[in-house]
Structure 1
Amino acid sequence: MIVVGGGVAGLTTAVLLAESGRRVRVWAREPAEGTTSAVAGGLWWPYRIEPGPLAGAWALESLGVYEELAARPGETGVRLVEGVHDGVRPAELGAWAGRVPGLRAVAGGLAARLPVVDMPVHLAWLRRRLERAGGAVEVREVTDLAAVPATVVVNCTGLGARSLVPDPAVRPVRGQLVVVENPGVTSWFTSVDHSPGASTYFIPQPGRLLLGGTAEEDDWSLEPDPATAAAIVARCAAVRPEIAGARILAHRVGLRPARAAVRLERRSLPGGRALIHNYGHGGGGVTVAWGCARETRDLAFPAP
């Protein structure tokens, strides 16, 4: 079987399929380090992903996996880190929130110790785990899902599904980050601004601090905007003043694959073959990766 797409959704799905005894290959247009997943901040939280009840269930399943992986942070890239969601109230969240260990109300928002995933490390670990299970990753572009020579084809192409399926319901939501030397920040922080496209967050990663961010709908630009970067730094420094003097290491831009609802379903291909769609995760791809992978595996090989 072939999984199309080599981001976190594709690799996680391929791992579960390979570890269930299937012969799996991943066909990816670019290496994992070139995907949107590699740019992600990596904080576990169901953000800009629908439908809420399903996303919550997928997120909780993934949370359990990440909590186990956090025992080996150097290997898996997953750590458990304290932080605050400023301006978030429990009533705004779904039933899933009541099952997040340690999630609690604090002045102005919610606090918790949540998984933070160092995405370049985690993606490399997923690939190694896939290879240990007998799978392989090939850099190979797909232009027609029906032409993929496999009994089961899994579509994890994210924003690429817009043209590949084609599915015009998949739209980009542009996110810009600034990477700085960490001036000693050990906790994450998020605060969603209700003005269009703006938010404030910082996420500590090994050797660096990620500052964000934006959520610009239908913006395809991958070029960092200097004015946007300056505004991101200023917003973060308003929360933690030491960020203002931090040396900038890099600028990053990623396009979240937004959709009114995640598409996770089985379709038929000619010759009795199956196509499983698993895309449209918006800003929650890392958060729901393991839950969606498990459901994809069950759709591909339903129990008798």
Structure 2
Amino acid sequence: MSGEVIVVGGGVIGLTTAVVLAESGRRVRVWTRESVQETTSAVAGALWWPYRIEPEALVGDWSLATLRVYEKLAERPQETGVRLVAGVHAHVRLGELGPWAAQVEGLRAAGADELPSGYTEGLWARLPLVDMPVHLDWLRRRFEAAGGVVERRTVGSFAEAAAQAPVVVNCTGLGSRELVPDDRLQPVRGQLVLVENPGIEEWFTAADGASEKTAYVFPQPGRLILGGTAEEGDWRTSPDPATADAIVARCARILPELARARIIGHLVGLRPARSTGVRIESEPLPGGGLLVHNYGHGGAGVTVAWGCAQAAAALAS
């Protein structure tokens, strides 16, 4: 393919889409309001798992396509930020999952000795766990190696990009609420606590998709990430001390050694949830341009990034 494309949005969805386009031969620029490390993606936990994302009929294929990429990237964890790490999803049964689960190697019921005290069932798996600051930098380098350019720029309308390129790809996440506009988008606030790792090597989650309060523990290099929250419609971006205390308390009930872990930081991110699910579709722009949408990934942008990027790139021809 040939021709110039402007991707609006510099998070994991925007950068991954830009990589796919640039490596297919397109001339691609990424316009991003924040630096890559200031995007919501940089805050993510980030465990591969289809969580709080629709439409169910498409999510499985997007997730599996992404899983296959991460499995290869995990061969170079220090460079890519992707590692395959073992852990347990509590309160989850294989029969409750979609057909995609049969293609996740090693996914099985957890044994009693693999579950923390107080838990009676769950699933064991070795899944990609992504160190997002490292991964985002790697994505940017890969994009630039393919000839792409990242530009800091605030966009008031897609017409600004269309004036400079015949194809515009919208990967603005929650920003699409105003830019499209799309009032089906709303934030789902996630607060995390970073602590020194007392020696935990496996991840653990006990997440109820219907609850604002979840419990998860993700061991990342140099830190342990404790979560979390899923507060729909909450635009607050500053950490709440009471919420942080509650997160630590929930996680310490699962792993008591966390009660004494030294806190080293707090993070808040706003997941771009869309009531009707991810939007990947194209529409004409005035003057003959093409606008391709790729937004609304909720809490699973990392999980579906490559699958959605490939689907969006196919519409950008």
Q: Is the shorter-chain TM-score for this pair beyond 0.5, marking a shared fold?
A: yes
1:98-134 deviations in Å (ceiling 9; x for gaps): 1111100124110100000000000000000001000
In the TM superposition, 1:133-172 aligns within 5 A as: 133-148=146-161, 149-172=164-187
Identity %: 68
Matched, 1:262 2:278: yes
Letter in 2 for 1:33: Q
Contact 2:52 2:209 survives alignment (8 Å): no
124-133 or 263-272: which moved more? 263-272
After TM superposition, the structure 1 = structure 2 runs for residues 1-304 of structure 1, keeping only pairs within 5 Å, are 1-106=5-110, 107=112, 108-148=121-161, 149-193=164-208, 196-260=211-275, 261-301=277-317
Distance across 1 between alignment mates of 2:200 and 2:29: 40
What are the ranges of 5 or more consecutive residues in structure 1 without an aligned counterpart? none
How many angstroms apart in 2 are the aligned matches of 1:253 and 1:241?
A: 24
Q: How many Å apart are 1:147 and its aligned residue?
A: 2.7
Q: Which amino acid aligns with 1:89?
A: R
TM-score computed with the length of structure 2 as normaliser: 0.94
Shift of 1:223: 1.1
- Deviation, 1:146, is 2.3
1:96 shift after superposition:
0.7
State the alpha-carbon separation in 1 of the partners of residues 102 and 126 from structure 2. Answer: 14
> 1:53: how far off?
2.1
Q: Is the 8 A contact 2:217 2:251 kept in 1?
A: yes
Q: 1:184, 1:204 → 2: CA distance?
A: 9
1:82 partner SS: strand
Distance 1:48 1:243 in 2: 27
Distance 2:165 2:105 in 1: 41
Find the aligned partners of 2:270 and 2:160 in 1 and give their Cα distance.
27
Q: RMSD across aligned C-alpha pairs, in angstroms?
A: 0.9
Evaluate the alpha carbon distance shift between residue 268 and residue 194 of structure 1 in structure 2; reply closer, same or farther with a 3 A threshold: closer
Which range moved further: 34-43 or 87-96? Answer: 87-96
Take 1:274 and 1:228, find their aligned partners in 2: how far apart are those partners?
43
- For the residue of structure 1 that corresponds to 2:34, the secondary structure is coil
Give the secondary structure class of the aligned counterpart of 1:203. strand
| Structure 2 Cα separation of the partners of residues 154 and 115 of structure 1 | 27
Gaps of 5+ in 2: 113-120
In structure 1, distance between residues paired with 2:54 and 2:226: 25
